[in-house]
Structure 1
Amino acid sequence: MHPLAYIPSPSQGVWHLGPVPLRAYAIMIILGIVVAVWLGERRWAAKGGTPGVIVDVAVWAVPFGLVGGRLYHVLTDYQRYFGADGDPVRALEIWKGGLGIWGAVALGAVGAIIGCRRRGISALALADAVAPGIALAQAIGRWGNYWNQELYGRPLDAFWALKIDENHRPMLDGGPALDPKYADVATYHPTFLYESLWCVGVAVLVIWADRRYKLTHGRAFALYVAAYTVGRGWIEALRIDDAHHVLGLRLNDWTSIILFAGAVAYLYLSRGRTGPENVGVPAAAASGDPGAVPGTVKSETASGAKDETEGAEDDGKPADGKPRAETEDATDADEPETLAEESASAEDDPEDPAGDVPADAAKPEPEPEPVAGDDKGDDLPEPARVDKAEPVSDGK
Structure 2
Amino acid sequence: MEQTIQPLDRVALELGPITIYWYGLIIGLGAMLGLWLVVRESERRGLAKDTFVDVVMIAVPVAILCARLYYVAFEWDFYKDNPGKILAVWEGGIAIHGALIGSFLTALIFSKKRGISFWKLVDIAAPSILLGQAIGRWGNFMNQEAHGGPVTRDFLESLMLPDFIINQMYIDGTYYHPTFLYESLWSFAGVIILLYLRRANLHRGELFLTYIIWYSIGRFFVEGLRTDSLIVWDTSLRIAQVMSLIWISAAVIIWIYRRKAGLAEKRYLES
CA distances 1:147-203 after superposition (whole Å, capped 9, x unpaired): 11111111122214744588x65xxxxxxxxxxxxxx42x11111111111111111
Pairing of 1:282-321 with structure 2 (within 5 A): none
- CA shift for structure 1 position 33: 0.9
AA partner of residue 231 (structure 2):
H
Task: Check 1:94–1:206 CA distance in 2 against 1; reply closer, same or farther (3 A cut).
Answer: same
Deviations 1:260-304 (A, max 9, x none): 111122222234621378x9xx9xxxxxxxxxxxxxxxxxxxxxx
Once the two structures are superposed, the pairs formed by residues 88-237 of structure 1 within 5 Å of their partners are 88-157=83-152, 158=155, 159=157, 160=161, 162-164=166-168, 169=172, 184-185=173-174, 187-212=175-200, 214-237=201-224
Q: Which runs of 5+ in 2 are unaligned?
A: none
Kindly indicate whether structure 1 or structure 2 has the higher relative contact order, using CA contacts under 8 Å at least 6 residues apart. 2
Residue of structure 2 aligned with 1:257, choices 223, 241, 245: 245
Q: CA deviation at 1:255?
A: 0.8
Tell me the alpha carbon deviations over residues 89-145 of structure 1, each in whole angstroms, 9 at most, x when there is no partner.
211111111111111111112222333233221221110001010000001111111
Q: Is the 8 A contact 1:219 1:270 kept in 2?
A: no
Distance 1:98 1:252, change over 3 A: same
State the 4+ residue runs in structure 1 displaced beyond 4 angstroms.
Answer: 245-248
CA distance in 2, matches of 1:26, 1:247: 32
Question: How many residue pairs end up in the alignment?
Answer: 256
Residue 233 of structure 1 aligns to which amino acid in structure 2?
A: F
Contact 2:41 2:124 in 1 (8 A): yes
Whether the 8 Å CA contact 1:60–1:114 is kept in 2: the answer is: no
Report the equivalent of 2:25. Answer: 27
Alignment correspondent of 2:52: 54
Q: TM-score, normalised by structure 1?
A: 0.60
- In the aligned structure 1, how far is the partner of 2:126 from the partner of 2:266? 20
Q: Is the 8 A contact 2:120 2:204 kept in 1?
A: yes
Calculate the TM-score normalised by the size of structure 2. Answer: 0.85
Residue type of the alignment partner of 1:237: G
8 Å CA contact 1:60, 1:115 repeated in 2: no
Distance 1:118 1:259 in 2: 26
Q: Secondary structure in 2 aligned to 1:117?
A: helix
> For the Cα contact (< 8 Å) 2:149–2:177, is it kept in 1?
yes
SS of aligned partner of 1:249: coil
| 2-structure distance, mates of 1:34, 1:72 | 24
Mark the CA change 1:117 to 1:208 in structure 2 (over 3 Å): closer, same or farther.
Answer: same
Say whether the 8 Å CA contact 2:169–2:177 is kept in structure 1.
no
1:127·1:218 contact (CA, 8 Å) conserved in 2? yes
Identity %: 34
Q: Distance in 1 between matches of 2:54 and 2:267?
A: 22
Which residue of structure 1 lines up, in the alignment, with residue 68 of structure 2?
70
1-structure distance, mates of 2:215, 2:98 = 15
CA distance in 1, matches of 2:212, 2:2: 37
